[in-house]
């Protein structure tokens, strides 16, 4: 199915790639102001056409457009922002997108934004946006709060609103609701412990270690219940040990504003390192899931240390199947190859014993790409005026944090196929 897309606030092309993944042949005209995101988009989608800032785009200068997509700037709606809503300079840009929908009259348009859109200004902003879509005439609108965690191991709630022509075929069932079980199950639906493994590098002290209070051991019986806790145990390994009809495990006690003062993190759990000195922050630990990626990647993952020699030997044994040092996610998943990038924390006090068997490290750019559904190294290079340059990790984290989740877009796109037949 061939479609022409106008990709506004395009970022690194999550909407474009989502529709391709759903089986469409997409030709894009894209608008963005961040030069690094523009460079990645040009590098990955070489047949696309850059059309400048959204304020400068005019429908009369474009070919027939079948689809308009936009994840307009969300800072003024976000709970982490100043909640100025439509009065904010960035969020008001949605009016430019609505203008272009009116000028291009696409068969479908999709808007993505943060959960806070619903509550901004006591719901008045969302009502105003809906009214603006209705005032275009000739469109029906559906919307739903979708969570990336239904498909990939990242807890990321976003509002998706789909508008489509009132001339849509009468037997079509619409887009929503999309449920937790609607996403296709594949190896990416695995836990963080097995999914978030990728070659990376980083070094130096990491302030997140300040949040770890101590290592705690506990015994779990054969039925899975915790039968004993030892809050003074700082044994030199965090690997599970089987014996006596149950397992002896260990976890980290992470400082939190919960009533007990901490949350528990084990292998494969994520730790949110935002505002580490806050006395009111809670929900820092993501159980086998990453929390919502932001533009700074303030997240770490807890994992066992691995035998570097054994990993390298396994790579050499599979030399003909993949390049040394560049295992794919399936290689890592099936052959149990683990990330051997250095730890980002410097042990202190009882943490020295902790790191005999465990480590805490920041997510790598590749892991962030995977959590958003992008191919490995989608953000590694960009095209700057025709010159291909490597992207800094800072920019890669920012681009992934700002992106839409490709797999969520693909689920929506699949349901829109009947409108284009």
Beta strands in 305-403 (DSSP E): 358-362, 381-384, 387-390
Q: At what angle do helices 393-402 and 35-44 cross, to 10 degrees?
A: 80
CA distances from 296 to 61, 272, 311, 401 (A): 37, 11, 30, 8
**Is the preceding peptide bond at 44 cis, omega within 30 degrees of 0?**
no
List the structure tokens of 283: 């929900």
Token look-up 């037949």 returns 421
By the 8 A CB rule, do 329 and 188 touch? yes
- Whole-angstrom distance, CA of residue 214 vs CA of residue 354: 9
By the 8 A CB rule, do 97 and 149 touch? no
Q: How many of the other CB atoms lie within 10 Å of CB of 168?
A: 16
DSSP string, 84-112: -GGGSTTGGGHHHHHHHHHHH--SEEEEE
List the structure tokens of 199: 């070659």
- Whole-angstrom distance, CA of residue 120 vs CA of residue 86: 9
The residues that bridge with 390 in the sheet, in sequence order, are 381
- Whole-angstrom distance, CA of residue 351 vs CA of residue 375: 35
Given the residues 74, 104, 297, 400, the one annotated as active site: 74
Classify residue 310 by its DSSP letter: H
Token look-up 């990242």 returns 154
**Size of the chain in residues:** 421
Token look-up 């047949």 returns 47
User: Is residue 74 flagged as an active site residue?
Assistant: yes
By the 8 A CB rule, do 29 and 51 touch? yes
Closest C-alpha among 296, 294, 290, 299 to residue 148: 290
Cα atoms in the Cβ-side hemisphere of radius 13 Å centred on 163: 26
Please identify every residue annotated as catalytic.
74
């Amino acid at each position: 199915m061939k479609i022409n897309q106008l990709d506004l606030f395009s970022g690194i092309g999550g909407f474009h790639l989502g529709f391709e993944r759903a089986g469409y042949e997409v030709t894009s005209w894209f608008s963005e102001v961040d030069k690094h995101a523009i460079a990645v988009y040009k590098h990955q989608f070489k047949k696309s056409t850059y059309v400048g800032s959204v304020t400068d785009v005019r429908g009369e200068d474009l070919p027939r457009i079948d689809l308009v997509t936009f994840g307009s700037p969300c800072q003024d709606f976000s709970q982490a922002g100043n909640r100025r809503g439509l009065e904010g300079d960035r969020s008001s840009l949605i009016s430019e997108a609505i203008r272009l929908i009116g000028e291009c009259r696409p068969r479908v348009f999709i808007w993505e934004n943060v959960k806070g859109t619903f509550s901004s200004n006591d719901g008045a902003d969302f009502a105003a946006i809906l009214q603006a879509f209705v005032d275009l005439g000739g469109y029906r609108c559906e919307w739903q709060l979708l969570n990336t965690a239904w498909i990939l191991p990242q807890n990321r709630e976003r509002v998706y609103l789909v508008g489509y022509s009132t001339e849509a075929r009468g037997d079509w069932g619409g887009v929503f609701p999309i449920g937790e079980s609607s996403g296709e199950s594949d190896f990416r639906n695995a836990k963080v412990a097995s999914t978030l493994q990728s070659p990376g590098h980083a070094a130096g002290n990491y302030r997140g270690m300040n949040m770890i209070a101590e290592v705690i051991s506990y015994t779990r019986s054969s039925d899975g219940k915790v039968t004993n806790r030892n809050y003074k145990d700082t044994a030199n390994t965090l690997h599970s040990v089987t014996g006596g009809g149950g397992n002896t495990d260990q976890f980290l006690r992470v400082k939190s504003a919960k009533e007990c003062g901490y949350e528990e993190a084990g292998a494969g759990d994520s730790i949110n390192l935002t505002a580490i000195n806050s006395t009111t922050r809670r929900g820092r630990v993501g159980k086998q899931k990453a929390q919502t990626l932001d533009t700074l990647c303030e997240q770490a993952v807890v994992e066992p240390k691995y035998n570097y020699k054994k990993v390298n030997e396994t790579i050499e044994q599979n030399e003909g199947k993949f390049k040394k040092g560049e295992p794919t996610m399936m290689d890592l998943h099936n052959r149990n190859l683990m990330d051997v990038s250095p730890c980002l924390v410097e042990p202190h006090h009882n943490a020295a014993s902790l790191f005999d068997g465990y480590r805490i490290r920041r997510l790598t750019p590749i892991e962030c790409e995977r959590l958003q559904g992008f191919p490995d190294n989608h953000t590694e290079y960009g095209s700057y005026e025709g010159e291909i340059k490597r992207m800094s990790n800072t920019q890669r984290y920012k681009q992934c944090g700002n992106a839409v989740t490709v797999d969520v877009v693909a689920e929506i796109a699949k349901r829109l196929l009947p409108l284009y037949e």
